[in-house]
Amino acid sequence: MNQFIKSQVENNLKKSEECYKADDYKTYNCNKCRDLTFIIKENTATPCECRGLIEAKNILKNSGISEEFRKKTFENYNYSFDTQSLDAFYKAKTYVKNFNEIKNKRNNSILFMGQVGSGKTHLSIAIANNLMDGGIGVIYMPFRDIITKIKQNIMDEEYYRKTINRYKFANVLLIDDLFKGSISKSDINIMFEIINYRYFNNLAMIISSEKRFEELIDIDEALGSRIIEMSKGYLVELRGKKLNYRLYGL
């Protein structure tokens, strides 16, 4: 067994034994691996599914937004705000309901487009919270921040690979505010590498963007059309300033 994996397994074993001693009624978060994050069979360790969820939670914790993230739910989304809010809410709920059925198909994603402040991020995160509660890791990618960091470290090959791979291989990827700000050719190239990989490997995405349908296509037709193909049936475009919830009740 690889030395690194071995030490991780031993570490986790120790931790779970300590927990066990501390609490006789200990229940595991993951019953498949009993929280070891590896499944050991005949002296070989294969990573357990729950690793994706743990990674997703760590990313949120490290970026300091776990608490904000948990607050965005279906329960506190006001769907009667506007008929467009209702449509967006309905599609988001339907997406969660159908997720297990569609997750390995090409058409397995959801896209929220349009008006600022209309609840696109709120619903995207509500979906992510629901999937995570069901044990599915959703990696959060705030577009502008991540693209900026990637470009700042472009000379660091290892950092670049590691970061890109995290978003390429994520079980489910939430891209928040895709193409916000002024977009350069290299922004498009980075996103193409991630999204094209996900397209060919049928890996689901939850995307929010202030761009409208035509604008997404205009920015890059190959990229835009892939996202739209993956989100058929779950395309939400919110239109009109009256949908800005931040201005509601003023």
Ligand X SMILES: Nc1ncnc2c1ncn2[C@@H]1O[C@H](COP(=O)(O)OP(=O)(O)O)[C@@H](O)[C@H]1O
**Interacting residue ranges for ligand X, rule: CB under 6 A:** 72, 77-78, 81, 85, 116-122, 208, 245-246
Helix 185-200 × helix 157-169 angle, to 10° = 40
Pairing of strands 172-176, 138-142: parallel
Q: Which is nearer to Mg ion, 33 or 191 (CB)?
A: 191
Q: Which is nearer to ligand X, 67 or 157 (CB)?
A: 67
* The binder of Zn ion chosen from 14, 15, 26, 32 (CB under 5 A): 32
Q: Of 212, 199, 186, whose CA–CA distance to 111 is shortest? A: 212
121 binds Mg ion (CB under 5 A): yes
Report the site for Mg ion in 190-229 (rule: CB under 5 A). none
Instruction: Supply angle C-alpha 124, 146, 141, rounded to 5.
Output: 20
Q: Which is nearer to Mg ion, 66 or 121 (CB)?
A: 121
Q: Which is nearer to Zn ion, 52 or 119 (CB)?
A: 52
* The binder of Zn ion chosen from 48, 53, 174, 204 (CB under 5 A): 48
Q: Which is nearer to Zn ion, 50 or 223 (CB)?
A: 50
- Shortest distance (Å) from residue 247 CB to ligand X: 10
- Shortest distance (Å) from residue 83 CB to Zn ion: 42
Q: Which residue intervals of the chain are DSSP H helices?
A: 3-22, 50-62, 66-71, 83-102, 120-133, 143-152, 157-169, 185-200, 213-219, 221-230
Residue tagged 């959060």 (tokens): 140
Extract the tokens encoding 176. 């928040």
Of 28-36, 74-82, 117-125, 189-197, the window that binds Mg ion (rule: CB under 5 A) is 117-125
183 binds Zn ion (CB under 5 A): no
Backbone angles phi, psi at 141, to 5 degrees: -130, 95
